[in-house]
Every structure is written in structure tokens, then in C-alpha cells.
Amino acid sequence: MLDSNRFRFKNQLPEEWYGRYSRIPGPKSVFRLKCVHKHYGFWPIIEHTVGEETGLCLACETDGLQHFIESINNIKMTYTGKRGGAFQINEYGQVLVPIYDSYCNKQKVFFVGEVTGVLLFKNPVTNEIIDLSDDEGLKPGSIWNKPYIGIPHNLSQRNKIYHKNRNDIVRPFFEDKELIKKIRMLRRWGPVRFIVNPYGIVLMKNTISEYDPDMDENWVPYYVGRINYEQWFLKGE
């Protein structure tokens, strides 16, 4: 791996996060810390389904990963008394950790640091290395055969990009017409939910061309493209 792609983590004092954050319900839509083995202890995992098998894909060992894990677990322990659980990394590399604050009786999100480079995972079913930043050879409309992980955003019926941030609706200052065009190539009308993964890759689900009664889900993830950071939400929004 190129040194510029090597995973690095810079922690900071946790602070409550009021910027964009949401997630699609379910364990497959986020990164998680899970106690997977007495040797590893708590470790970053993602779930990935290949055929009929779903594997827990562990992050590949790399410098700084233990520090990354500790920063997430520390804020979890402070508010919940338990380690492990979900976290997100947004398209700017900001590590966002949701917790439930029982004292205030509400969910909060904390910003605990920033990552650069790529966090790789290994699929135990196929032994392949999963690189969520790798979109080589893909074009809008290509099927995305990797975990569908990212922060959800929306395109309105009137072709306006927005994000549902808790009880508010936020919009980017600029309108990325190229991204909207690519989304509409895949779904020509109606509102659309799409996600942006930690590396700025845009993904969305769409129906397969023909209904397959043997499939549990006839919605499949597709590659859309990448965000243009100059026409996107600002860092921290």
C-alpha cells in the first residue's frame, strides 16, 4: 500500500457533534467495535454478505489502530459503562461515535478524532481484503459488491440534495449537478436515498431489472460516483 493510503488516526478531546450524522438501521450499515477474540479484544468490524453467508470482517492490523479503538471505547464507557458498539467515519475522515446518555435520556454523537488513509478489512468467507476506497473500474450503474456503509443523504423529487440531521434539514451551499445527473441515471424520478462512504464514494440502492423470488431482497447497491468536495457540505457541517 502507498504510504499516503496508510491508515492513521489523530485523536482529540471528545466533543459533542452537531453536524451531519445519521445511519441506516441495522448492523450492516455501520462500523462497529466488537469483542471478537481474546487475542484481539474489541476490534473494528463490518458485516459483509457473499451469497448466503454473512461474515464478520475484521480490520487489518495497522499502526495506530489500538489508539483508535481506545478513543471510541473511552467515550462509550464514559456515558454507557460499556465498550463496543457502532461508530461512523464521514467523508472528511471525522470519527463520530453515537451514545445514549441515560442522564439526559437522549442520543448524543461525539467527535473523537480524524483518520487519514484507508482502514482495510479481511473477509473470512473469501479471504479477500476489502478496500472501501477502491472504485477502480466502476462506473455509474456498476453493482457495488462491497459492504454498503456510509452516512445517508437524500435527493428530493425536485432534485435537491439534502440531509436529515436529527430534526433539521440541511443542504449544501452549492448544487452538484453532475452528481444529481448520475443519481437520475439510475432512478429517473422520485425521492432517492443515497449514502456517502468515508472515502467520498456515493452509493445507492435500486431494484434489479427482473424480480427474483429466490432473493430475500430485490434491492441491490449500485455505484454512483464520488462527491465533488468543492460542491458538497463543508467540513463540520
Return the domain boundaries, the chain: 3-130, 151-231
pLDDT at 213 over 90: no
CA end-to-end span of the chain: 31
Cα-based torsion angle of the residue sequence 142, 146, 151, 157 in order, rounded to the nearest 10 degrees:
30
Tell me the residue length of the chain: 237
Q: 34-86, pLDDT tens digit by residue? A: 998 767 689 999 999 877 778 899 999 998 999 999 999 999 999 999 999 99
pTM equals 0.92
Name the CA dihedral angle for 90, 95, 101, 104, rounded to a multiple of 10 degrees: -70
Rounded Cα distance between 72 and 112, Å, is 7
- Whole-number pLDDT of residue 190: 94
Average pLDDT, the chain: 91
Evaluate whether 204 touches 220 at the Cβ level (below 8 Å). no
The rounded distance, in Å, linking the Cα atoms of 111 and 54 is 30
Average pLDDT of span 199-209? 90
DSSP run (H or E) holding 33: strand 31-37
Give the residue among 108, 89, 111, 125 at the shortest CA–CA distance from 8: 89
Q: What is the mean pLDDT of residues 9-28?
A: 94
Contacts of 191 (CB under 8 A, 6+ apart): 154, 155, 156, 157
What b-and-e string marks burial along 11-29, b requiring 16 or more CB atoms within 10 Å of the CB? beebeebebbbebeeeeeb
